[in-house]
Amino acid sequence: MSEPPPVSERAVVLLSGGLDSATCLGWARAQGFECHTLAIDYGQRHRIELEAARRVSAALGASGHREIPVGLRSIGGSALTADIDVPKDRDERAIGSGVPVTYVPARNTVFLAIALGCAETLGARHLVAGMNAIDYSGYPDCRPEFLRAFESLARVATRAGVEGVALRIHAPLLELDKADIIRLGLSLGVDYSLTHSCYDPAPAGEACGRCDACLLRLRGFREAGLPDPARYATAQHP
């Protein structure tokens, strides 16, 4: 949320393995951060994204990568963590209105809290996350006010905070649409063939091409005038 700090400082980068978080890692490296990536195994149905996170972290030269299990499947309440169908073939107006069933209750709050703990153990005072307030599918925890509130929380909830070391959350994609995110990532050397965005992949790992995440991703590549290098279960047309 604040301006990039001097080079060579450490940052914890939340890395799902998707397009947005991969771009964030590319951005963080370009800022001169020593990047430590963090992937959360929260019981998501699209577990293949964890493999993508490992690939992206290695390809972009992160200093370290952690994968931490958190049992969000035990509380359910989402098509990503419970036996609920993932919505398919929704139009753009439907995707952008209301909170969809793919919202995972408190997920970004939990993720940022774990990243905050990792930052304290690493001596890092920067978190980098891929929240986006434009192509965000209606998730309440992808908005600027959520990030500002979490920064305030960090100031009073950590030893570093009470000792006067302010934690900063950087959300470089917050005001970008998918096409601009893709253009930014390519300018930073991000290889999007390594990423995975689909909420409901086929058993062999191909993206469905029909869930909200796939539709937003495909639209982004189309508007950027580029082919999507992801593997899809059915042929995709420009």
Q: Where are the domains of the chain?
A: 10-224
pTM attached to this predicted model = 0.92
CATH topology of domain 10-224: Rossmann fold (3.40.50)
Query: Which parts of 87-197 are beta strand (E)?
Result: 126-128, 168-170
Torsion angle defined by CA atoms of residues 155, 57, 22 and 238, in that order, rounded to the nearest 10 degrees: -160
In sequence order, the β-bridge partners of residue 126 are 168
- Asked if residues 102 and 137 have their Cβ atoms less than 8 Å apart, the reply is yes
- Chain segment 157-166, per-residue pLDDT in tens: 999 889 988 8
Residue 229 has a pLDDT of 97
Q: In this structure, how many other beta carbons lie within 10 angstroms of the beta carbon of residue 210?
A: 20
What integer is the mean pLDDT of 181-189?
98
Residue pointed to by tokens 């990030």: 147
How would you list the strands of the sheet with 64-69, edge to edge?
64-69, 34-41, 10-14, 126-128, 168-170
pLDDT of 134 higher than 60: yes
Q: What integer best gives the mean pLDDT of the chain?
A: 92
